[in-house]
A and B are shown apart, each in its own frame.
Chain A
């Protein structure tokens, strides 16, 4: 018996990476989107997203990939994933209209015995409300990480599968597809799976919030949070993969969405969720760390300072600027002249009248009074303190995420400001 064909509907970040992983695991895949232009571009190998290893994976397994914008082509698929990204607003609320429309289109065209799997982020209660026969409708948790999407899709830690009745066996084709990834399967009721996704993200946010809160305290009492992190990671109750790196607040949209969902559900059910409110407030506070640091360390001394800014994407290895700390910062820097470089995102995204786009990190630093590194792109690590000292007019480096070697910069005469440690200045 040949392997079942797996369909993916919604060719956005989630859909493309998931479909590429399915092809890599040996399954014939059908890539469907109602947007004909998007499908035409994909067929030509043009990707709307940036992810490490994604182009290579697609190239290596292209023989198992077929593109279509005809919904009727989905009829040949044994399993069809609804895999579009779900847009969020500024407050983390989900816009489910796209998902609803896609589910309607797909449901009307797939075979009666096909399995429909909701892979995109939907709030608890969403899946059970759908009209499809429960035995052929599932919700599967996605754990996509921007910048590591391919790795996560190919090597999932487990599959969390929301079922109408978890006591019933999974349909054969769906089971065959999932077991090909060689990880544990965790069937549970729809609502549990939908909430499991949120629970995972709340745990991550919890760790990040602890890190951010204590990193700020470290900055003020002379501790270095980065010295503390290894001690925590060696504690089995906390763990080696825990999210303990301080950051500039939550970004990307997905974590914020889950916090917003919990707050909404708590509001609707009377459940106490003060902790989540604190997560949101902490994130909002942390987001402005660079702005506060700039005013205190740069503008207070030099009101007409020129700033070099490295990075606009919300994190490295992605084109996404959703909730990007860099863009949030730049919105409040209208009076100042900026020199900006990002390897992928164009300077126009900054929407700043006095911003100049630069074609290299060093070009952005040239003539700047202070250099601010907002995205930890690997290329920025190549910057040498001696080159910066020659290029820059001033001697302040604000590097929240420790892309550069602070000690080397201080030795080269720079003042170095980073998250989790007091300002470091030349003696």
Chain B
């Protein structure tokens, strides 16, 4: 449940983005700058959270009126080493927050914090991660929340797509790249699994709204519409003349939980006038952006 401490949207005095060079961080940065908000954008070049001096460097930069967005991560955390790196990065931020008070903290988390069998997933679903990646985000949420007295919010996006996505995970981004290279779009089996996919611009827009309302609590960044990989592949194919969709053998057994649905009621309540970009439209934008 999200609680807004600002009754009306108010531009933050300054937003510090830790991880501004990434896919989501970059989208948030652009949205804030477009709106004329003052931003201190920290990429790994300005602040490497794995460096010994990261805490002191960050603490020195923070001001009491800052709204801080923590989006930096080595993701997905596929193994124990990556998990520990991510926790170490969060530890550095926590130590800086313990030294310097700020106005608001927003953490870009993940829907991987929820149990796999939560269906439909809401913000009230139990956080019971089944992957190291999910455990990493769940742990970082708790670490950051406990490190500051400022209002804390977690935005938990589901699968994100967009032109600048650095990952090549199974789904819209890989499908676009395959079609772009003239290769068949490859779906596993019949591609019947249904998942929620959100456009990165919508994730950024929600983050900006949470900053403007100085929100506290958790919000899922999900559209509430789950689409099968088969249908997504067809949508992508329609944007590339001559593209074909081909079934490929699954790399592993058919997943036990075939579909994942989200109930977005809490988002409807938190931001009644927010409109998610429909998947077909978002894929079109992603294509245009890439062109």
Residues on A close to B: CB < 8 A?
Answer: 281, 285, 288, 291-292, 295, 300, 303, 332-335
Q: Is the CB of B273 within 8 A of A335?
A: yes
Q: Is the CB of B273 within 8 A of A303?
A: yes
**What are the residues of chain B within 8 A of A333 when measuring CB–CB?**
272
Chain B residue at smallest Cβ distance from A300 = B275
Instruction: A285-B263, A303-B273 are known; give 18 further A-B pairs, CB within 8 A.
Output: A281-B124, A285-B265, A288-B265, A288-B268, A288-B269, A291-B265, A291-B268, A292-B265, A292-B268, A295-B268, A300-B275, A303-B275, A332-B268, A332-B272, A333-B272, A334-B272, A335-B272, A335-B273
**What are the residues of chain B within 8 A of A295 when measuring CB–CB?**
268
Chain A residue at smallest Cβ distance from B270 = A332
| CA A300 to CA B225, docked complex, whole Å | 13
| CA A281 to CA B272, docked complex, whole Å | 22
| Nearest chain B CB to A330 CB, angstrom units | 12
| Nearest chain B CB to A291 CB, angstrom units | 6
| CA A333 to CA B263, docked complex, whole Å | 18
**What are the residues of chain B within 8 A of A300 when measuring CB–CB?**
275
| CA A303 to CA B265, docked complex, whole Å | 17
Interchain Cβ contacts within 8 Å, total number: 22
CB contact list, B245-275 vs A, under 8 A: 263, 265, 268-269, 272-273, 275
18 contacts between A and B (CB under 8 A): A281-B124, A285-B263, A288-B265, A288-B269, A291-B265, A291-B268, A291-B269, A292-B265, A292-B268, A295-B268, A303-B273, A303-B275, A332-B268, A332-B269, A332-B272, A334-B272, A335-B272, A335-B273
**What are the residues of chain B within 8 A of A281 when measuring CB–CB?**
124
| Nearest chain A CB to B100 CB, angstrom units | 36
**What are the residues of chain A within 8 A of B269 when measuring CB–CB?**
288, 291, 332
Secondary structure dominating the interface of B:
loop
| CA A303 to CA B269, docked complex, whole Å | 15
| CA A335 to CA B8, docked complex, whole Å | 12
Q: Which 5 A-B pairs have the closest CB atoms?
A: A288-B265, A332-B269, A335-B273, A295-B268, A335-B272
Counting chain B CB atoms within 10 Å of each CB, the highest count among A292, A295, A300 belongs to A295
| CA A398 to CA B164, docked complex, whole Å | 41
| Nearest chain A CB to B277 CB, angstrom units | 12
| Nearest chain A CB to B95 CB, angstrom units | 37
Chain A residue at smallest Cβ distance from B225 = A296
**What are the residues of chain B within 8 A of A292 when measuring CB–CB?**
265, 268
| Nearest chain B CB to A94 CB, angstrom units | 24
Chain A residue at smallest Cβ distance from B125 = A281
| CA A303 to CA B263, docked complex, whole Å | 20
**What are the residues of chain A within 8 A of B268 when measuring CB–CB?**
288, 291-292, 295, 332
| CA A291 to CA B270, docked complex, whole Å | 12
| CA A333 to CA B265, docked complex, whole Å | 13
Chain B residue at smallest Cβ distance from A292 = B265
| CA A285 to CA B273, docked complex, whole Å | 20
| CA A333 to CA B273, docked complex, whole Å | 9
**What are the residues of chain A within 8 A of B263 when measuring CB–CB?**
285
| Nearest chain B CB to A259 CB, angstrom units | 16
| Nearest chain A CB to B58 CB, angstrom units | 38
| CA A293 to CA B263, docked complex, whole Å | 12
| Nearest chain B CB to A37 CB, angstrom units | 37
Counting chain A CB atoms within 10 Å of each CB, the highest count among B263, B265, B273, B275 belongs to B265
| Nearest chain A CB to B137 CB, angstrom units | 24
| CA A303 to CA B273, docked complex, whole Å | 8
**What are the residues of chain B within 8 A of A335 when measuring CB–CB?**
272-273
